[in-house]
Each structure stands twice: as structure tokens, then as C-alpha cells.
Amino acid sequence: MLKINGENVDAAGKTLVQYLAEAGYNQVRIAVERNGEIVPKAKYGETVLAEGDCVEVVNFVGGG
């Protein structure tokens, strides 16, 4: 198990791209932090989630 946005999730072994697609995130309007480090969008496909990871996914919302 790992934590994503404070919730326990069984996503170990999946790439960040796989998890984000399955969870329905629009990858254009998000930022991802994994274990205290921002993950560059270019690395989403090669970043494999592991047991014990702590991930935060932040959605950007426009407004005015």
C-alpha cells in the first residue's frame, strides 16, 4: 500500500501514468509530488510507484 492524497491505495508496481489514467486525472492540469519531490511530467511513464510511497496529486483550476 501507498498513500495518495492521504488515502491508502493499492497501486504499487504501476507507473504514475497508469495510476493517473485509471484514477481519471487530466495529466495536463496536474502536478505530482512523490516522497517530497516534484515528479517532472516527462518522467511519469518511467516512475514506478512502490510500497510506502507518499504521493500528492494537485489539480490546477483556472478562475478569475
Domains within the chain, CATH numbers bracketed: 2-59 (3.10.20.30)
The answer for 54, left when phi > 0, alpha when psi is -120 to 50, beta otherwise, is: beta
The label of the residue with cell 514506478 reads 48
Residue 47 C-alpha from the chain's centroid: 9
Residue 48 phi, psi (nearest 5): -95, 125
Residue 64 has a pLDDT of: 65
By the 8 A CB rule, do 19 and 2 touch?
no
Taking only the tens place, the pLDDT of each residue in 5-57 is: 999 999 999 999 999 999 999 888 899 999 999 999 999 999 999 999 999 99
- At 33 the pLDDT is 98
